[in-house]
Structure 1
Amino acid sequence: MAKNAKDKDDGYIPLMDRFKAWWEGIEPEAVVRAKSPDQATQPPAPSPAAIEVDIQESEGPLKSWPESRLSFCRRLWGEEFEVVRPGGTEFAVRLVRPMALTSENSLLDLSAGLGGGARQIHKELGIWVTGLERNPELAQHGAAISKAKGLDRKVPITAYEPNKVSLKPASFDGALIRETLYAIPEREAFLTKVAEAIRPFGHIVLTDLMLAKEVYRTDRAIGAWLKRDAADAAPDIVGSYAPLLESLGFDVRVEEDESDVYHSYVLQGWAAFVDGMSRDDLDRDFVSRMMIEAEYWVYLMRALQAGKVRLIRVHGIKKP
């Protein structure tokens, strides 16, 4: 970043163009030509892989949530919605709406994050939501936001460990689990506890990242994604959850591939983010954080586009 916009004549391509090229898997010159056809004869530019990243965290899973990452991801996925995952609050509300719950009902959200989705569910549908979040840092921030909004009773957010979570039997009318199960080793034991906490005729809706085929467990692209996700992540195979929920007493009404929707949420988030960047943003720390987050999503989106990973939605109703 030693050069500026005035230096284009020497073959330099701005970082935002190089980032777009890296993200899309194309040559940076193609981005320049698309923006300005008269620059088609420009000299070769630096490889997008040459974008330098300082933070060592890029070599392993993205586990911690320092303030720099929290601020970045809130900006990426929707600052005003207080979320740190694709789809904002829109996806959360859409997943819960078919449960047909009201202000007389209670919902257990086991993937609460900062609680933005849970608070929006309460706002739009009137449901009392108990938010649980695996990451203690996110849970702490989420609890503070709920308290600041006067929602610490109607939408409390607390941290939990899946293998130690204690849930009162038959205490909820619905449960929501978003993109979480694939990183929980003891999934069946965990879902058994959740099932016991749901009242008869209550609902469970889960979305999870799953492998299209068993053979993909050893796929290098899948390995690259999981290396940056969680050390204990081991996605299940598409079709695994319906029989498991049936065995736990649910009538599974929906098992649907939501990969295209999820893919569009991710692309929309990153497109809006990149378009909203200014030159003032591009200090070294910001660029490093951007590339680390983007690296994770590039690996996942390429696996999704190749059909190796799918995002599956399952909706079941507990039998009496």
Structure 2
Amino acid sequence: MAKIGSQRRSAIASAGPSPAGKTDDYVPFLIRFQAWWEGVEPGSLMRRRQRAKPRRSKRIDVRSRQAIREVSERWTPRRIEIVSRIYGEGFIQIGGQSFMERRLESMGLDEKMSVLDMSAGLGGTSRLMARNFGSWISGFEMERQLADAGMRMSRSENLKDKAPVKPYDPENVEIQDRRYHFILMRERLHTVKNKVRLLKELSEALTPGGKMMLIELVAVDEDAKKHALVKNWSESEYHELSLWSEDDIKDAIYHLGLELDGYYDDSDDYKNAILRDWRRFTRSLQKEELDQEFVDIMMDEAEVNKARTDAINAGILKLVRIELTRRKTHTLLSDW
């Protein structure tokens, strides 16, 4: 039964001085951020803005990651609000609703199915499946603050029974055998140490003929795990990484004994979704809302996205999507 302080910050901070009384050489934070994100010189953006509408912006400091993370928990109400603006209401992952909608359309979900969402976050994808397909969702999230906030959102949308969100420990979770017609897990395996045990639990939780979708960041090979860009990404994350290579995840899938329906490289879509999400978000920003807490949270989230993008662009990291089916006459391995 289920019991279920980096180089980039320095670049932004030093993009333009702003001593008291100076107005000619100060580069406002939004321009510094835009220049950093797009990889261009802030001066050219600043001059273009000044020609269009010259005005003085308030000073915003870019603080170190250590300073930000010492003063608050990660998933405060303010962070949830800001992250939902980046990825869409109810979502904490890149691409939001549209990214998952396209990938779920071919899964054949319907109102008779029980679904397990092992990466529920704020419950956005769980509620999406409940609304679009009528399925009954059990949403589980490893971060308690997110699970609690996600459950409140499900209640507010009258989906507390159809798409509840509960906290769980991925290292120790136990799941009822042959319970779910579809299982989804997105970008959680790289935070789990005992991945083999977790995948075995998920495999056994599928009904005969049931399907599983894994969406996961993997290193292209063993050497890539040690690359400086992977180290940079690891340092930007809150959780310690336990990254698999492509061969690692393929080997684990083989030993599960499930049928492989599809193995896809979604890296390009992922990068494009990052750019779309942040372009939309930054265009919506108003200078009046940029207090220190807002900037701290925005920069913290941006660094994770930028680190992932850099590693994918360098060809050392991939986002893969794996679709699996449990055979109707399937006997799982019990001792691997």
Cα displacement string for residues 4-59 of structure 1 (whole angstroms, at most 9, x for unaligned residues):
xxx86x133222111111122332124346x46979xxxxxxxxxx9522663557
So what's the TM-score if we normalise by structure 1? Answer: 0.87
SS of the residue aligned with 2:185? strand
2:102 to 94, 108, 133: 94
Aligned to 2:33: 19
1:74–1:82 CA contact under 8 A, matched in 2: yes
C-alpha displacement of 1:203: 0.4
Partner of residue 303 from structure 2, selected from 295, 301, 306: 295
Secondary structure of the residue aligned to 1:199 is strand
Alignment pair present for 1:208 and 2:216 = yes
In the superposition, relative to structure 1, how do residues 57 and 250 fare at CA in structure 2: closer, same or farther (>3 Å)? farther
Deviation of 1:134 (Å): 0.5
Q: Secondary structure at the match of 2:246?
A: coil
Rounded to whole Å, the distance in 2 between the matches of 1:106 and 1:199 is 10
1:96-149 per-position Cα deviation (integer Å, ceiling 9, x unaligned): 222212101111100000001110111111111110001011001111111222
Q: Secondary structure at the match of 1:150?
A: coil
CA deviation profile, 1:56-101 (whole Å, cap 9, x unmatched): 35579x97311221111111111xx311111112222322222212
Residue 161 of structure 1 pairs with residue 169 of structure 2 = yes
In the alignment, what sits opposite 2:85?
75
Match of 1:142 among 140, 150, 153: 150
Indicate conservation of the 8 Å contact 2:258/2:324, yes or no: yes
**Between the two proteins, what is the percent identity of the paired residues?**
28
Tell me the distance in 2 between the aligned counterparts of 1:260 and 1:63. 32
Query: C-alpha separation between the residues in 1 aligned to 2:284 and 2:205?
Result: 43
Q: Secondary structure at the match of 1:114?
A: coil
The alignment partner of 1:153 has SS state of coil
Matched residue SS, 1:240: helix
For residue 286 of structure 2, what is the amino acid of its counterpart? S
After TM superposition, the runs of 4+ consecutive aligned structure 1 residues lying more than 6 A away are: 36-39
Inter-partner Cα distance in structure 2 for 1:96 and 1:85: 15
Counterparts of 1:187-198 in structure 2, within 5 Å, are 187-198=195-206
Shift of 1:218: 1.8
RMSD: 2.6
Distance 2:67 2:103 in 1: 32
5+ long unaligned stretches in structure 2: 1-15, 53-59, 329-336
Any residues of structure 2 matched to 1:1-320 within 5 Å, and which? 10-32=24-46, 35=48, 51-53=61-63, 56=66, 58=68, 64-78=74-88, 81-320=89-328
Structure 1 unaligned regions, length at least 5: 40-49
Q: Distance in 1 between matches of 2:243 and 2:64?
A: 30
Aligned length: 304
Q: For residues 207 and 30 of structure 1, what CA distance do their matches in structure 2 show?
A: 39
Find the aligned partners of 2:298 and 2:17 in 1 and give their Cα distance.
Answer: 19
